[in-house]
Amino acid sequence: MSRVHLDTQGPIARITLDNPGKLNAFTPGMLSELEAHCATLDRAAEVRGVILCSEGDRAFCAGADITAWAPLSPFDFARHWVREGHRVFDRLARLSKPTIAALQGHAFGGGLELAAACDIRVMASSATLALPEAQVGIVPGWSGTQRLSRLLPEPVLKEMALFGRRIDAERAQGLGFAAEVAEDPLIAAEAIATGLMRASPRALEVAKYQIHAARGEDAGAMIEALGAGMIGASDDKAEGVAAFTEKRKPDFSGT
């Protein structure tokens, strides 16, 4: 049974977490589904933006399903659960389309890390953010100490990860983590997403790459992607390919 749905009707796609009985906590299957959806979206030229949301209004995502990772050996926990989750969330963060997380409920642990992997976030006024891992004897493993350190001030991150304090929606907006606090975050996210229709999809993609490179989000790949795009449009690239195909020396013009 699928627990992560992708709806790509129209230019705005929607990824929905559908595990409300467990507060949308992530299972290994859900990680695989999310990764597959990201790959699909990166190749969907008709999609201009992506909204990430969840079923139910109690929790956007309560993190990782403890029954999925608790039985794992230390080796499997580190090598598979943590590294695979990190890879999938990185895949979401580096999606070529702009992404908006609609937090209808609380985002704890991996749920907060998931929201952080999106470009902007809209929160319900009653939603809160937390990193409760230390209270069950573990540490954040899906970028909670890494990506979040670029989005939140260090004292605030320590307040959450070390002292277990929750951040409410109003404070999250004041810190710049939430773009907006709304009665219905999904409606607000859809309204924000309509603004994407007024911009060039390619310009948005390149701007996202530039911002990510500046803040160290996969900087090497972002810089090389930008360089590849620049050289790919040149006459020299076309000449080089033609010369290789025709088994002759290229005559580069510098244009």
Are 12 and 193 a contacting pair, CB within 8 Å?
yes
Proportion of the chain in helix, strand, coil states, percent, rounded to 5? 50, 15, 35
Q: How many CB atoms lie within 10 A of CB 27?
A: 17
Instruction: Give the dihedral of Cα atoms 140, 145, 148, 150; nearest 10 deg.
Output: -170
Tokens 């530039």 identify what position? 210
State how beta strands 167-168 and 128-130 pair. antiparallel
Residue 77: per-residue pLDDT? 77
Q: Give, as one character, the DSSP assignment of residue 56.
A: S
Q: Compute the residue count for the chain.
A: 255
Residue 24: per-residue pLDDT? 96
Residue 221: per-residue pLDDT? 77
Distance between CA atoms of 127 and 38, rounded to whole angstroms? Answer: 26
Distance between CA atoms of 225 and 232, rounded to whole angstroms? Answer: 10
Tokens 């307040």 identify what position? 159
Tokens 């985002």 identify what position? 107
- CA dist 151 to 85, 95, 141, 155, Å? 19, 18, 16, 12
Residue 22: per-residue pLDDT? 94
Residue 227: per-residue pLDDT? 84
Phi and psi dihedrals of 83, rounded to 5? -70, -40
- Find all residues with CB under 8 Å of 21, minimum gap 6, and list them: none
Distance between CA atoms of 159 and 150, rounded to whole angstroms? Answer: 15
Which positions are annotated as active-site residues?
113, 133
In one-letter notation, the amino acid at residue 235 is D
The SS3 assignment for 184 reads coil
Per residue of the chain (255 residues), give pLDDT as tens: 899 999 998 999 999 999 999 999 999 899 999 999 999 999 999 999 999 999 999 999 999 888 888 787 877 777 777 888 889 999 999 999 999 999 999 999 999 999 999 999 999 999 999 999 999 888 898 888 999 999 999 999 999 999 999 999 999 999 999 999 999 999 999 999 999 999 999 999 999 999 988 888 777 777 887 788 888 888 888 888 888 899 999 998 988
